Amino acid sequence: MSDIKKPTILLSNDDGIHAKGINSIIPLLREYGNLIVVAPEQGQSAQSHAITIKEPLFLKKIHEEEGLTKYVCSGTSVDCVKMALNNILSEKPDYVVSGINHGTNAAISVIYSGTMAAAIEAHIHGIPSIGFSVVDYSEDADFTASVHFARIILDQLIPSRESGFCFNVNVPKGSIDSIHGIKVGRQARSSWVESFEKRTNPAKKDYYWLTGHFINFEPDAVDTDDWALRNGYVSIVPVQADFTAHHQVTEYKHLETKVLNHSSK
Structural domains of the chain ordered from first start: 8-188+220-244 (3.40.1210.10)
Question: What pLDDT score does 231 carry?
Answer: 97
Would you say residue 1 has pLDDT above 50? no
User: Poorest-confidence range of 23-27, 54-58, 152-156, 213-217?
Assistant: 213-217
Nearest Cα residue to 77 out of 10, 143, 140, 164: 10
Q: What is the mean predicted confidence (pLDDT) over 215-226?
A: 94
Would you say residue 217 has pLDDT above 80? yes
Please state whether the predicted TM-score (pTM) of the whole model is above 0.85: yes
Question: What pLDDT score does 46 carry?
Answer: 83
Confidence of residue 126 (pLDDT cuts 50, 70, 90): very high
Confidence of residue 3 (pLDDT cuts 50, 70, 90): low
Sequence-ordered list of residues with C-beta below 8 angstroms from that of 59, at least 6 positions apart, any chain: 38, 71, 72, 73, 74, 83, 87, 88
Question: What pLDDT score does 211 carry?
Answer: 84
pLDDT tens for 177-193 read 999 999 999 999 998 88
H-type alpha helices, the chain? 20-30, 77-83, 114-124, 144-157, 225-230, 246-249
Would you say residue 248 has pLDDT above 80? yes
